[in-house]
């Protein structure tokens, strides 16, 4: 994690060099500009500088070859390693502070894309991957709404993830996920390419987004399951349309109309909050708008290649050959690589 601060450290050194440049010293405006930039990177740079110093101390201690001081050396190494752990935590806290939404719960939408039934099956695979991922991090996941297909896949499924660090762990999943494999529906054994789309929405509160009831059109209809079979004979399903933005949310997973309405409003609020967030991002630089934490649904972000047992993230080029483990919810290596890459994008902006 602390390696993510290296880019801040490098920029810190460059700014300090600029501040002693005679041409810069002559310009009060340039001095003010560089001084402001220095203050923005000083904290993470100092953390990384301390990390390098302690790391060097540990290496020097390990190089000592004195049997009489063996116990003392081991003790001091342990103390230095404790300092490293403390610095790692501070680095994590700093990176978290860069995103105001990091502590929020999330709502995740998965939709089948190109590929027919195989795409729907892949959407189901992604759902299981995320549920296992949440479980491994002691997060609580709950299916909010789903539309299952005859073969056990999903046309679309929406679920919430609650707990410490939920948004931080899931924020990088927004975009198009591509799978390359032989579908169970393919008799000739040919490899097909299918896609599913994922959207990760920070969960919003009434304080974040105030919704005027007059802006809503609420329709009810009969719920239907896989293959068009009626789940019940009452109009329990709910469709809510936010008239000013045209945003539509449908929920029919519960037998109670009231429950479906509560869930639909929860999803609608998250969608409107996401729209508000994106509008604010439009005012920022192109770099910030294109950061991985702000991925568009149309952007292909990751490929899961089953014949090669390979998973590749196209944003930072991360590649691993443990696809089975990834599909079982071991996403930590991928997420760690994206956190580090995002920090580099931030400091370069």
Provide the sign of the torsion angle of the four alpha carbons 36, 37, 38, 39, taken in this order: positive
Is the pLDDT at 248 greater than 70, yes or no?
yes
> What is the per-residue pLDDT for 107?
94
* Token pair of 27 as six digits: 């310009």
Residue 328 clears pLDDT 60, i.e. is over it: yes
Query: Residue 294: its pLDDT value, please?
Result: 42
Q: Which residue, 296, 292, 297, 302, is CA-closest to 340?
A: 292
Asked whether the predicted pLDDT for residue 347 surpasses 60, the reply is no
Residue 158 scores a pLDDT above 90: yes
Average pLDDT over residues 299-326: 95
H helices within the chain, ranges in order? 6-19, 22-25, 28-63, 70-97, 116-136, 166-170, 257-281, 286-289, 323-327, 332-348
Q: pLDDT-based confidence at 234, cuts 50/70/90?
A: low
pLDDT (0 to 100) of residue 281: 66
- Of 11-25, 26-40, 50-64, 222-236, minimum mean pLDDT range: 222-236
* CATH number of this structure's domain 2-97, picked from the four choices 1.10.150, 1.25.40, 1.20.58, 3.40.50: 1.20.58
The pLDDT tens digits of the residues spanning 90-144 come to 887 777 666 667 778 999 999 999 998 999 999 999 999 999 999 999 999 999 9
pLDDT band at 282 (very low <50, low <70, confident <90, very high): low
Query: Could you tell me the two tokens for 90?
Result: 């501070």
Percent of the chain exceeding pLDDT 70 equals 87
Q: Which residue has the higher pLDDT, 254 or 139?
A: 139
Task: Give me the pLDDT at residue 128, please.
Answer: 97
Region 310-321 average pLDDT: 96
The rounded mean pLDDT for the chain is 85
What pLDDT sits at residue 286?
44
What DSSP character marks residue 317?
A: -
Residue 327 has pLDDT above 90, yes or no: yes
pLDDT bucket at 227, cuts 50 / 70 / 90? very low
In this predicted structure, what is the pLDDT of residue 184? 80
pLDDT at site 96: 67
Closest by CA to 160, choosing from 176, 142, 147, 148, is: 142
Contacts 24+ apart (CB under 8 A), 91-95: 91/1, 91/2, 91/4, 91/5, 91/44, 91/47, 91/48, 91/51, 92/1, 94/5, 94/43, 94/44, 94/47, 95/1, 95/4, 95/339, 95/343
CB atoms within 10 A of CB 163: 14
Residue 343 confidence (pLDDT) above 90:
no
- Which strand ranges, in their side-by-side order, compose the sheet holding 247-251? 216-221, 237-242, 247-251
Name the CATH architecture for the domain at 213-280: 2-Layer Sandwich (3.30)
Q: What is the pLDDT of residue 315?
A: 93
Ranges of each domain in the chain: 2-97, 106-202+290-348, 213-280
CA angle 87, 6, 163 (to 5 degrees): 55
Residue 225: the pLDDT is 54
CATH 3.30.1360.70, applies to 106-202+290-348: no
Calculate mean pLDDT across residues 163-178: 91
């Amino acid at each position: 994690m602390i390696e993510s601060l290296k880019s801040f450290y490098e920029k810190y050194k460059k700014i300090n060099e600029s501040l002693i440049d005679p041409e810069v010293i002559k310009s009060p405006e340039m001095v003010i500009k560089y001084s402001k930039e220095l203050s923005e990177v000083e904290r993470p740079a100092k953390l990384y500088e301390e990390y390098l110093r302690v790391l060097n101390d540990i290496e020097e201690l390990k190089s000592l070859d004195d049997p009489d001081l063996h116990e003392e050396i081991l003790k001091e190494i342990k103390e230095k390693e404790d300092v490293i752990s403390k610095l790692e935590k501070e680095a994590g806290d700093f990176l978290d502070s860069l995103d105001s939404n990091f502590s929020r719960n999330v709502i995740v939408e998965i939709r089948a894309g190109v590929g027919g039934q195989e795409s729907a099956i892949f959407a189901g695979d992604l759902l299981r991957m995320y549920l296992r991922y949440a479980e491994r991090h002691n997060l609580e996941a709950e299916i909010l709404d789903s539309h299952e297909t005859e073969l056990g896949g999903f046309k679309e499924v929406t679920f919430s993830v609650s707990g410490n660090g939920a948004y931080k762990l899931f924020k990088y999943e927004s975009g198009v996920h591509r799978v390359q494999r032989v579908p169970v529906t393919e008799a000739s054994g040919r490899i097909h390419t299918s896609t599913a789309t994922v959207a990760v929405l920070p969960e919003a509160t009434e304080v974040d987004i105030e919704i005027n009831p007059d802006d809503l059109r609420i329709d009810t209809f009969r719920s239907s399951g896989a293959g068009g079979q009626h789940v019940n004979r009452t109009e329990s399903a709910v469709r809510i349309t936010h008239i000013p933005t045209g945003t539509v949310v449908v929920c029919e997973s519960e037998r109670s109309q009231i429950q479906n309405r509560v869930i639909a409003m929860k999803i609608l609020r998250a969608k409107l909050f996401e729209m508000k967030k994106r509008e604010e991002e439009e005012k920022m630089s192109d770099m910030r708008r294109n950061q991985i934490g702000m991925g568009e649904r149309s952007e292909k972000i990751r490929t899961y290649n089953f014949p090669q047992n390979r998973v590749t993230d196209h944003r930072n080029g991360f590649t691993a050959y443990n696809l089975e483990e990834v599909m079982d919810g071991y996403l930590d290596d991928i997420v760690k690589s994206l956190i580090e890459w995002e920090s580099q994008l931030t400091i370069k902006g």
